[in-house]
Structure 1
């Protein structure tokens, strides 16, 4: 069975599915080698003509990855890639699964609002009692 890296670098990389799988496998190999905190904000997008192409999810992470370029090239070479350049693109889309958002907490009215609500209900109850009801006609 051919490794993902071999598939990526060989002629079979022309198959888009194999190319995508190879990139995904290579991304999983490179992420742990990135500086702490950076890995969840960048993703390997492509390897082409000796260039690693990364996506960053904001300009801040783009700049931090740019600062780690030498480290990144060394990491890529350590897994067998012959690369000499890193290109970084910034995207506005999240790069990974987002944590589920907590459900909004129900708003509990304060004591003054509760008292006002009770007073309004009492007023309605007094006005709509059986003796006060008028026939519609």
Structure 2
């Protein structure tokens, strides 16, 4: 077995490339081809930060840029009332998007649905059968007095 692969990287593997240097974690994440979605998310975040000051202050905390594609700005809001307010602010927001170099022609506003508990928590509890109740009581009795298991 070649033990050189088990040794540390103190020597360069390819003398033409020179010694290897550690690559920053973010640089590794952004490397092609897997870095495309991450770069897009970072770009959308920066775009959101540039457009947010153009929103009414009361609305800014409830709206977030979700996407920009083919001239459409897509915002997500957390309640229908904010959807209506954002649609009223659409002309100013589209102008702001154009001022940062986007060819924005349309504003789409979507409302998120509130997070609810799991569907199982909405179900009513079924009554326990008599046999299951006796088994549960016996198990609880064993927990209280483990010495009674042999009797």
TM normalised by structure 2 equals 0.51
Local SS of the residue matching 2:75: strand
TM normalised by structure 1 equals 0.56
Confirm whether residue 70 of structure 1 aligns to residue 91 of structure 2: yes
Extract unaligned runs of 5+ from structure 1.
Answer: 1-11, 95-137
Task: Return structure 1 stretches of 4+ with deviation > 3 angstroms.
Answer: none
CA shift for structure 1 position 63: 0.4
Q: Which residue of 2 aligns with 1:27?
A: 48
Q: What does 1:50-65 correspond to in 2, within 5 Å?
A: 50-65=71-86
Quick one: distance in 1 between partners of 2:71 and 2:114? Answer: 26
Local SS of the residue matching 2:64: strand
Q: 1:90 aligns with which of 111, 117, 121?
A: 111
CA shift for structure 1 position 78: 1.1
CA shift for structure 1 position 37: 0.9
- The alignment covers a number of residue pairs equal to 82
Q: Which residue of 2 aligns with 1:80?
A: 101
Extract unaligned runs of 5+ from structure 2.
Answer: 1-32, 116-151
- Higher RCO (C-alpha 8 Å, min separation 6): 1
Q: CA RMSD in A?
A: 1.8
Quick one: distance in 2 between partners of 1:93 and 1:23? Answer: 23
Quick one: distance in 2 between partners of 1:93 and 1:17? Answer: 26
